[in-house]
């Protein structure tokens, strides 16, 4: 069960990271962007760490308070949920 949780978390965080990278590339090229709700949904589903890492590594959305405050909060919730699942079912 723990392995499944780690694989799930890893995959979602890679997806979150990639979504931010793609959104940054589209922003630079002035192309159609990835909706913020999709980025936040990915975070709420467990990919907040990947989004946070991409935010600061790629310097994307770091001026948006909704991201600089929201994503760390979502990451905190992710950690609590993952911890609960591991303790309860691990």
Give the pLDDT score at 90. Answer: 75
Q: Residue written as tokens 């001026």?
A: 63
Give tens-digit pLDDT for 9-46: 999 999 999 999 999 999 999 999 999 999 999 999 99
Give the pLDDT score at 64. Answer: 95
Give tens-digit pLDDT for 45-64: 999 999 999 999 999 999 99
State phi, psi for 4 to the nearest 5 degrees. -60, -40
**Residue 45: CB atoms within 10 Å:** 14
């Amino acid at each position: 069960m723990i392995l499944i949780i780690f694989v799930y978390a890893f995959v979602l965080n890679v997806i979150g990271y990639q979504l931010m990278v793609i959104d940054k590339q589209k922003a630079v090229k002035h192309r159609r962007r990835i909706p913020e709700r999709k980025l936040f949904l990915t975070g709420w589903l467990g990919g907040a760490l990947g989004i946070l890492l991409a935010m600061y590594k790629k310097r994307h959305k770091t001026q948006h308070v909704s991201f600089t405050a929201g994503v760390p909060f979502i990451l905190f919730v992710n950690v609590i949920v993952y911890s609960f699942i591991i303790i309860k079912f691990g």
